[in-house]
């Protein structure tokens, strides 16, 4: 395989990956939030500890707001 063919394949691969990234970003932005999705308190944006009192209080607050 010649050098220019390898460069062309590499450029095409990079362009394809960038296009895939842009497409997935746009499609994700267009997707609506599902029903029952719980907003997490801004004090713990990425907390995965289920026993956390702040997270539990935030979850309960959101559930009570949805029932009214």
pLDDT of residue 1: 85
Query: Is-contact 60 39, C-beta < 8 A?
Result: no
Cα–Cα distance, 24 to 46 (Å, whole number): 22
Query: Is-contact 49 58, C-beta < 8 A?
Result: no
Query: Is-contact 47 24, C-beta < 8 A?
Result: no
Q: Where are the domains of the chain?
A: 1-31, 39-68
What is the model's pTM? Answer: 0.52
Query: In the numeric block, which tokens belong to residue 40?
Result: 């997490």
| Average pLDDT for runs of 10 along the chain of length 68 | 95 98 96 80 65 61 51
pLDDT of residue 53: 67
Instruction: Please report where in the chains the tokens 């220019």 appear, as a residue.
Output: 4
pLDDT of residue 36: 81
């Amino acid at each position: 395989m010649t050098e220019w063919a390898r460069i062309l394949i590499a450029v095409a691969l990079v362009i394809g990956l960038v296009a895939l990234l842009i497409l997935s970003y746009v499609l994700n932005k267009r997707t609506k939030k599902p029903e029952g999705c719980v907003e997490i308190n801004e004090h713990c944006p990425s907390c995965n500890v289920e026993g956390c009192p702040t997270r539990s209080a935030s979850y309960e607050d959101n559930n009570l707001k949805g029932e009214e």
